[in-house]
Amino acid sequence: MNLKQTRLVTEDVQRLTAFYERLTGATAEVISSSYVEFQHSPCAGLAIASKDIARTYGESTLGSSSNGSLVLDFEVRDVDTHYARLKEYVVAWVQLPKKLPWGNRAMLFRDPDGNLVNMFSVKP
């Protein structure tokens, strides 16, 4: 068994795709106007689907912007460099860059749909 990808369901595929392209520098492969996949590093394994296409699984199976238990973790070399690059772009900061008790440095913020994003660097 091999986990292939994580799929985010959204009301605005283009907006969320643009956010993750800017965040990571990766380019999404547009499968349709309702579905994109990031197939290459640094964002390989992330897919974004419209709430309309998600209805193929059943009317109330998936909803958009409703996840409160998901964290997307991105390991980076220097959290502070990414903070400087993103501080004006990210709207919903949860935690500014700080050293965590176990030595990693991390920052937390929400994407445009409210999904939690963690950027961290491992202690040297």
Query: b vs e for 87-106, b when ≥16 Cβ sit within 10 Å of the residue's Cβ?
Result: eeebeeeeeebeeeeeeebb
Q: What is the mean pLDDT of residues 100-105?
A: 94
The H helix count followed by the E strand count for the chain is: 3, 8
The domain segmentation of the chain, as residue ranges, is: 1-55, 70-124
CATH (one of 3.10.180.10, 3.40.50.450, 2.102.10.10, 3.30.750.200) for 70-124: 3.10.180.10
pTM of the model: 0.87
Q: What is the mean pLDDT of residues 25-45?
A: 93
